[in-house]
Chains A and B, each alone.
Chain A
Amino acid sequence: MLLRLNLNPIVPFDMTLGTLVLIALFIIITTPKTKKIYHLIFIKLGILGISLFYFFEAFSYLFLSDILAIISGISLFPTTVLILIGVNYIMREEVNTFSLVSIFCLGVILCIVAFFPDAIVIDIVDRFIMIELGGWFKVIAELFHIIFIGIVGYWGIITWANAPFLIKKEAKLFLIATSFMVARVLINLMVYLNPIWILGVQILFATGVIMLTLVITNEPKILFIFPFTLNRILVRDKNGYPLFDQDWSKSKINEQVFTGFLNAIQLMSDEVVNLGGLLDIDLKEGILMIHESRYVSVGLVSSHSSKFLRNSLTHFIEDFEEMFEQLLKQGVTDPKKYESAYLLIEKYFANFPIRLIEDIKENILLEANYLEIPKSLEQKLKSATINQEELNLLKSELLKTPTGFTTEFLNLYDKLTREDDEESNPID
Chain B
Amino acid sequence: MSQEILAPSLGIEHPTVKGVIRIANEVLKEGRVLNIEYLYRRAKRELKIPREGLLTIIQYLVNKKIIINGSKFTKDTILDNDIRSIVYNFIQQNIGLHFSAIKRNIVKFLKGDQIGVGQLIWHLEMLLKFNLIKSFELGNHTIFIPVEIDETIAKIYYLARNSVRNKILRHLIEIERTTRPLIAEVIQENRENVYYHIKILIEHDCIINLNKELLLNPKLREEIIEVIRELTLNQELNYKEK
Contact = CB atoms under 8 A, between A and B. Distances in A.
A362 B37 CA distance: 9
B116 A365 contact: no
A54 B177 CA distance: 110
A366 B114 contact: no
Contact of B9 (A342, A396, A415, A422): A342
A366 B24 contact: yes
A319 B6 CA distance: 14
A384 B116 contact: yes
B101 A372 contact: no
A399 interface: yes
A417 interface: yes
Interface stretch (B26-34, B146-154, B199-207, B210-218): B26-34
B29 A425 contact: no
A270 interface: no
Given A356-B63, A394-B118, A423 B100 contact: yes
A367 interface: yes
A415 B99 CA distance: 10
Contact of B70 (A319, A390, A399): A399
B72 A400 contact: yes
A111 B1 CA distance: 51
Given A339-B9, A416-B142, A365 B69 contact: yes
Interface in A233-292: 246-247
Given A339-B11, A412-B124, A419-B142, A366 B119 contact: no
Contacts, number: 191
A43 to B, nearest CB: 23
A412 to B, nearest CB: 5
Interface stretch (B42-50, B85-93, B161-169, B182-190): B161-169
A360 B73 CA distance: 19
Contact of A367 (B66, B100, B164): B66
Contact of B69 (A247, A364, A383, A394): A364
Interface size, B (range): 35 or more
B114 A386 contact: yes
A362 B36 CA distance: 7
A126 interface: no
Nearest to A383: B118
Contacts of B72: 363, 400-402
A24 interface: no
Nearest to A367: B66
Contacts of A357: 36, 58, 62
Contact of B100 (A169, A342, A393, A422): A422
A363 B38 CA distance: 10
Contacts of A340: 9
Given A365-B68, A420-B117, A425-B161, A360 B35 contact: yes
16 contacts: A165-B36, A166-B58, A354-B62, A362-B35, A362-B69, A364-B39, A364-B70, A366-B21, A366-B25, A372-B25, A386-B118, A393-B119, A401-B72, A416-B117, A419-B142, A427-B163
Given A342-B60, A402-B72, A426-B97, 19 more contacts: A339-B11, A342-B9, A357-B36, A357-B62, A360-B36, A360-B37, A362-B69, A364-B36, A365-B69, A366-B25, A367-B65, A372-B28, A384-B121, A386-B114, A405-B125, A413-B118, A416-B121, A420-B99, A424-B101
Interface of A: 165-166, 169, 246-247, 318-319, 322-323, 339-340, 342-343, 346-347, 354, 356-357, 360-367, 370-372, 381, 383-387, 390, 393-394, 396-397, 399-402, 405, 408-409, 412-413, 415-417, 419-420, 422-427
